[in-house]
Amino acid sequence: MEDQIVITGIGIVSPIGTGTEAFLESLKTGKSGVDRIKRFDPSIFGSKKAGEINDFSIADHIPASNARKMDRLTRYSTAAAVMAVKDSGIDMAKTDSGRIGVIFGTAFGNSASLEKFISEINANGPQLANPFIFPSLSMNISAGTIAKELSLNGVNYTLSSEVTSGGMAIFYAVQLLKNKKADYIICGGADELSLLVFGGVHAKGELAYEDQTVSEDSRPFDQYRNGYICAEGACLLLLERLEDAKKRGANIYAKISGISTGSFGNGTSAEEVIRRSAGQALQESGLSSSDIDFICSSANSSRICDKLEIDSLRSAMGTDAKDIPVSALKSMTGETFGASYPLNICAAMLCIRDRFIFPTINYTSPDPLCRLNLTTKYAEDAIINNSLICSFSLDSHTRWGNCVSILIGKV
Amino acid sequence: MPNRSKRVVVTGMGVLSSIGNSIDEYALNLKNGVSGVAPVTLFDTNGLRVHIACEIKDLPAVNFPYSYRALDMIHISAVQAVKDSKICFKDEDPYRIGSVFGLSQGSIESLKVIFRKIITEKDISGLKPEQLVANTAYGPAKAIASYYDLKGPSLTVSTACSSSLNSVMIASDLIGNGLSEICFTGGAEDLFDIAYYGFHSLRGLAEKKCQPFDKNRSGLLLGEGAGILILEELEHALKRKAMIYAEILGYGNSSDAYHETSPDPSGRGAALAMKAALEDAHLRTDAVEYINAHGTGTQQNDEMETKAIKGAFGENAYEIPVSSTKSMTGHALGAAGIIEIIACILAMRGSFIPPTINYETPDPACDLDYVPNRSRPKTFDISMSNNFAFAGNNSSIIIKKWKTK
């Protein structure tokens, strides 16, 4: 019998709150984390808003002196990891450090440090390149720093695949736990808002903007959605095998009952690949589509992707799909890239635990092409046993992408 | 201990390095101890103390859907590997073919375009999406999946200097766990100024030559390279009568939890990775016949790695030839792992141990058999390859030559 993998710890740094309590409060009240950008002057861009984190202090999570060399993204990630471990209740002193791993996902890495490193070279010349910033240019600096902060000698990988980065990290962590390559894995992901990232995605024409009809906002599934809101965050989960969690009397949020991934090289095969991945996750779980009580949607207010997600899931789940309640977290947080997948899982787990469905905010004009049972405006009471989370990246220019589907359920 | 249920073999290879743009040329130059070092031509080194690197010579011009140096390099080595593997794609289920790549960075050329327009000129007009294509680490994995229409799991791992070794380990897990039958794996790294200036700022670059394990070693030489392996589930390879190079026997990864750039001088983390690889491969310490060292040529790495090999292999460490092919190829960062695994496979097939060149003065702190300056004829079956990276990432893999029964 294959091992069952469960989630026993949560660490959140997000535009709608740092820490599970603040995040949960925002979910229940439908709070928006989106506002005009404060970190840099957005005036040269057509889009001016982002999901920024402005209430975060690393000293709330680790001794401030440990954070001297950490840049912003590394601080977000380290704080999230520390919170996840604390939440899990693992006694680190009694655990073999070689059996605790970190699988981290990030789309763009530490882009603010990269920006600073290049700016200094441009200003001062290459011979004065800054050796104190250079280490933060490695995409694995967050995962390595988490290991250092928590003294973890186990497996340590950093994966990158745009918005599915955090989902791929969870996918691979599950493989490693099943192969017994580690006993505990801290996994998930993070990304930060920087001028470089914002400018890059803006140039690709993917961001929401204000027009004659609507304000610049994240409005998944709305008829007038015109792009996503660039955001930042870190979210890490603690994964372990069910029997270990039971043995140590852990508080279990949910089990991962099915997980599947696939990739596509052009827009036309995307729907087929996503449908298969969702179908496989369902098959692995041994459930039927009528057992799924909630789709915690990854829709980010993209014209194409919101509809593609619903169409793919509908074809994977057959006639049951139209009745399953759906809600989109990114209506509140914006697109947090590496953090987005694990944040979706956290939202779904909290809905399972506290028996509610959070609302999709900013939804005012239903899109006749996206017909679904969407929870809007206010949170609703609901008993959820199984929730499906399916996320995919689809590059707006190359049409390259991949997808991950995860089914979580009550233990 | 439960583990991967399927066996994983190598059935195709492609490589680009400063000492060879094909498998055959690379093998010959590894055997002959050829150095790839030359003055830097790809960017300006004025004002720096160092002006040399190991660039790829005569990179062929190619015409794939999108183009920048690292992506071209990936495509060229993929074409070599696919041809070598004789895979017939129309006989394969695309959902059973994965792609796992290791890159330390995205395209710096593309990044610089964004930087110049947004930060320097503060003018976004004329910034076109196609200039931004694949300016991320994950671009090449998706490009290859798209080009060959691979629909299986696609991952990119980015762990600095151990990236492409880690990609082979992840790809092996996918096949071992039955999630793919075939997997494209490897990586590429082009030589770019930002990394060069960064290593220069850390005083990590050798001014004249790279001398791993030598008493007077003064740093690494940056290089560039690309490599692709076609990994395949054993039964699948046998069924299609593929030519099998080698089997992936086992691997291990660990974290130092010590420092951002310096390795743990005790070698504890690196030894953990090597021990995990031995355990994963179910091998005793006397089974490994050659170690392709990370061997960067920095004071810290080479002494630490020597300690770590002793920590993992005990007294047997003195019996195992250990060499650094970076003395010839330079340090190809994210691509180092893949070109060094390929070096191991070529050495086993060609019955030689590649040398550590530029070795002049023994260091009492580095007292293993480093195969100085000349390759050594030897028929052998089992190699280990190590890579250690920034942020304390340690990886080790064990490969066995495939023998047709």
Dmax over CA atoms of chain B, in Å, equals 66
Which of B42, B130, B142, B182 is most worth mutating to test chain A (most A CB atoms within 10 A of its CB)? B142
Q: How many CB atoms lie within 10 A of CB A289?
A: 18
The vertex-A251 CA angle with A247 and A252, nearest 5°, equals 90
**Count of residues for chain A?**
411
Shortest alpha-carbon distance between residue A155 and chain B (Å): 5
Q: Which amino acid is at B382?
A: I
Both structure tokens of A245? 């969690």
Residues A322-335 pLDDT 10s? 899 999 999 999 99
Which positions in chain B touch A48 (Cβ < 8 Å)? none
Q: How confident is the model at residue A59 (pLDDT cuts 50, 70, 90)?
A: very high
Interface contact flag, B393 A151, Cβ < 8 Å: no
Task: Write the DSSP string, A302-337.
Answer: -HHHHHHHHHHHHHHHGGGGGGSEEEETHHHH-B-G
B11 at interface of A, judged by CB pairs closer than 8 A: no
B159 at interface of A, judged by CB pairs closer than 8 A: yes
* Euclidean distance between CA atoms B119 and A196, whole angstroms: 8
pLDDT at B1: 40
Beta-bridged to residue A161, according to DSSP, are A163
Interface contact flag, B259 A148, Cβ < 8 Å: yes
Q: Are the beta carbons of B182 and B92 closer than 8 angstroms?
A: yes
Residues A205-260 pLDDT 10s? 999 999 999 999 999 999 999 999 999 999 999 999 999 999 999 999 999 999 99
pLDDT at A395: 86
Q: Are the beta carbons of A252 and A7 closer than 8 angstroms?
A: yes
- Residue from the list A115, A195, A263 with its beta carbon closest to the beta carbon of B151: A263
Both structure tokens of B254? 């660990």
Asked if the interface predicted TM-score (ipTM) of this complex is over 0.90, the answer is yes
Q: Are the beta carbons of A75 and A13 closer than 8 angstroms?
A: no
Q: Which residues contact A1 (CB under 8 A, 6 or more apart)?
A: none
- At residue B401, does pLDDT exceed 70? yes
Interface contact flag, A127 B253, Cβ < 8 Å: no
* Euclidean distance between CA atoms B321 and A127, whole angstroms: 38
Beta-bridged to residue B66, according to DSSP, are none
Residues B16-63 pLDDT 10s? 999 999 999 999 999 999 999 999 999 999 999 999 999 999 999 999
pLDDT at A399: 86
B294 is catalytic: yes
pLDDT at B137: 87
Choosing from B236, B294, B344, B366, the catalytic residue is: B294
Q: Are the beta carbons of B242 and B10 closer than 8 angstroms?
A: no
pTM for this structure?
A: 0.97
Residues B373-397 pLDDT 10s? 999 999 999 999 999 999 999 999 9
Shortest alpha-carbon distance between residue A51 and chain B (Å): 20
Q: How confident is the model at residue A55 (pLDDT cuts 50, 70, 90)?
A: confident
Across A170-181, average pLDDT: 97
pLDDT at B131: 64
Which positions in chain B touch A69 (Cβ < 8 Å)? 260
Which positions in chain A touch B107 (Cβ < 8 Å)? none
Interface contact flag, A199 B118, Cβ < 8 Å: yes
pLDDT at B2: 44
Alpha helices in B286-398 (DSSP H): 299-313, 326-329, 336-350
Beta-bridged to residue B229, according to DSSP, are B13, B185
Dmax over CA atoms of chain A, in Å, equals 64
β-pairing verdict for B290-292 and B382-389: parallel
- At residue B132, does pLDDT exceed 70? no
Q: What are phi and psi of A77, to 5 degrees?
A: -65, -45
